[in-house]
Structure 1
Amino acid sequence: MLREAMYTTIQTLFDKGYNKTQIAEMLEIDRGTVRNVLKKIENGEEIKRKNVASILDPYKEIIHIKIQQELSAMRIYQDISEETGYTGSYDTIKKYVKKYKDSNSRVYMVNTTLPGEEAQVDFGYVGKIPNPSGDIKKAWVFCMILSYSRLMYCEIVFNQEVRTFIKCHENAFRYFGGVTETVKIDNLKAAILEANFYEPIYQREYEAFNKYYGFLSIPCRVRTPTDKAKIESGVKYVKNNFFKGRSFNSYEEYKKGLSNWLENRCNSRIHGTTKRIPKEVFQEKEKQTLRSINPKGYDFGIWTTRKVNVNCHISYDSNFYSVPYKNIGEDVTLKISDKLIKIYSHYELIATHIKIEGKGLFSTNNIHYPEYKVKTKTQLQYEYRQKMLEIGPSALEFFDKVLDKNQNHWGKPIYGVLKLKDKFGSDIVEKACKRALAFGSIKYQTLKNICEKGIYEQPTDTGVSLISKAENDIHRPLSEYANLLSLKEVR
């Protein structure tokens, strides 16, 4: 199939008076090809451009993902060369990345929200000011804005750590009197560990915090100002309208001044976009839609990881705490607070324990074990008694005598009897139990010999007393046991 340019060349030469043979010789193509092209042109057929495969076709999906991760063209080239065996040039990657970015950066949608649906948060650097101790330190302003009413909360901070970030959230919720359904956050290190729009890895403490207050946090895409336009404008406004050109002598003066500015200027002016006063819109339409605040503040803790041992416990501070048996061998996450230890698996709470005072102690919840591991002695006795009853009345009597003789070590012999049933059948084991009981024996080995040697049908009436005359002694004399175990015929 010829390229579009070749069709145009053939038509141009033909229009200039060259015949088919001359055109074929000039272009070094077959004369029949020239004839077919001229025929298509004469019939008015549309000449379509041939779709030429690109060396990037197998890699475009990967390239798109890496562009979303804000990787440079050089980094994308290096990654796909190492990971996929791409053999093309860097320039090809560079041109495609530029073309893709240009084609996806022109159109934006207006993000509208319902009352109580969304808040946006961000930090803005405001220079060096006095901290509560009087030292001059770098400072930021934390801002949260309600996307519907544009009501805003601001607070001066001196770091962007997780605890500060969460405390600012709580203060904002109390200022608004409630919690929105979602909070849109910038890709701050305090909340987001990896800036990936599709699978953000939330900072563990912040993830626990938003679950505690019942809101969903949504990270903004990197370098996409339209995702957080409201808070971008809000931070810019507070920096230019309050901080710029103002200087106070102490942190308390800054704090008081910012509070007055929020109340009397920021939230009381006619907003430039909505053309309404944020405070009025909030009172009329948004305040009642907010979710109620948890009256007890969020409990910060220490986070660490432990591996679940085969005994269904993890170790912390020389004490042991149980975990569901299905998590054996797994690395789980612990949140340690003053009184509680909460254990998580992939952000799901799987166990809670009261923190133990002391060393070498266990906190065990029996539901963390398999059911068969936590049955009571009575339950086990009942289950095995029913199994022996299914064999027959003599087997049941055998069980009762074994249990009566030794309350704590009846399990192994009875388990052995049930294994004999699996091998020989209930009928033979029932007869073997009857014969062993007739000779006063309640030993598993006696039953096994009777079954294996097939003497369960032999008579038991020998005219000789088989039971020792000693009071409460159900065993036969040793000579008679010897005869029984050696399987000599009893006459």
Structure 2
Amino acid sequence: MPQERLSMRKIRDVLRYRHSAGLSLEAIARALKISKGVVAKYLRLAMAAGLSWPIPDTLDDAALEKLLYQQGAAREPTFAEPDYALVHQELKKKGVTLTLLWEEYRQAVGERGYQYTAFCTRYRDWAGKLKRSMRQIHRAGEKLFADYAGPTVPIVDAMTGEIQPASIFVAVLGASSYTFACATPGQTQADWLTGMGRALAFIGGVPALIVPDNPRALVSGADRYEPELNRATAEFAHPYDTVILPARPRKPQDKAKVESGVQVVERWILARLRHRRFFSVAELDAAILELLPALNTRPFKKLRGCRQNAFAQVDAPYLRPLPVSAFVIAEWKKATVNIDYHVEFERNYYSVPHALIHQAVELRITRHMVEVLAKGKRVASHPRSRRKGHYATLAEHMPAAHRAHAEWSPGKLQTWAASVGPSTAELVKRLLLEKKHPEQGYRACLGLMRLARNHGQARMEAACERALAVGAHGYRSVASILENGLDRQPVLPQQAELALPDHANVRGPDYYH
């Protein structure tokens, strides 16, 4: 592998430090700020050219250069260069070290192989010329990096023409650079967690570590050393049996792999979609998924193979299996139980056991359910309502008195009234129809039931008959009739309406037409 030539002055220093001062290769390399491999190379060239120290004064720089590179290089033994790209990929596998790779290299080439120090030095020189994201050694199946691309894609509302930006989520496996991308409506907590869940499903396994950026959607307390994940993010990691460790704030080198992956997605996917118009996030997402295979099968420039091949050989064997059931994204909220033993979320109300009145609880909200937890224990679960002002109440959450009240329905009330008598049935019917709110009618009917228990059904029927006769259709009227014993007195017949006599001075209705 060709290396940059040293100046004649540095070559003279190499020979002087070695032969006059007796310094080691490492000390010479440190003093001259060059690698040990370069020091060893020029000592070999000098030896092959028959040079030692001091160099004759008659040998100027031009003559010295000619002697080293033409005569010495011609006699320099030929070494077999290692396959540095293969070494770089093999190092990503668990348990593989440079020592092991050097031993395998020497077994393959024999005496034509470099010594261990030169082997390591030349490999590191080669790796130093790679991009930052490529030269980092990520262990197989260890890390999945995640971030959002800077550019967004406009989504056009087909009805109104309004334009909303869609964000592009990108995830990249550290060892193989296997890349996933998808479209999300924004960069909310749900969008982040959905993107990471879809990335894990795409690669078909779970790495030991997920390294996202440091957004507030995932991190409640950003810290360089101990970032604090919010509740939903921490909950996401549990079923996958993985660890989420956000990159340090303002440290892009922590996620150099996904920074490079974002750039690749922008160039090989988003650039190809720039002339297309999308009318939904789902449509954009489908277009991105169509282009992903071509991105992952593009050959590497400086390494063998492509992302797809590297994934199958390096990362895939070391990924843990996905959980049996998919993770359900949940939002967490704090709430206080109201005096009516309900908690509020999005102007809807959900019941909890009445003993929790005035206590602080947590709400776990998914797309379809609202769960209530008190001191870490689930105490209630309701289908999530989309109607504003809706009450979801379970009978077992009510106090006993409220439960007895709630168990009565109009049908049950009318059935009871009919069992007492026709007058009671008629009065109950009018109570339910005439009250402004059904609850008012329920309460009045329950009051009638109490009167019937106290005074008997016969007196109740008689009291209702008298109340209907006088046009008093209320609970209080029936209670007064029973209290004063009026139900025991005969009901006066209603007087017929008196007809006006015919008379010349009495004008009828036809007069005014």
Alignment TM-score > 0.5, same fold? no
**TM-score of the superposition, structure 2-length normalised?**
0.42
Query: TM-score scaled to structure 1, two decimals?
Result: 0.43
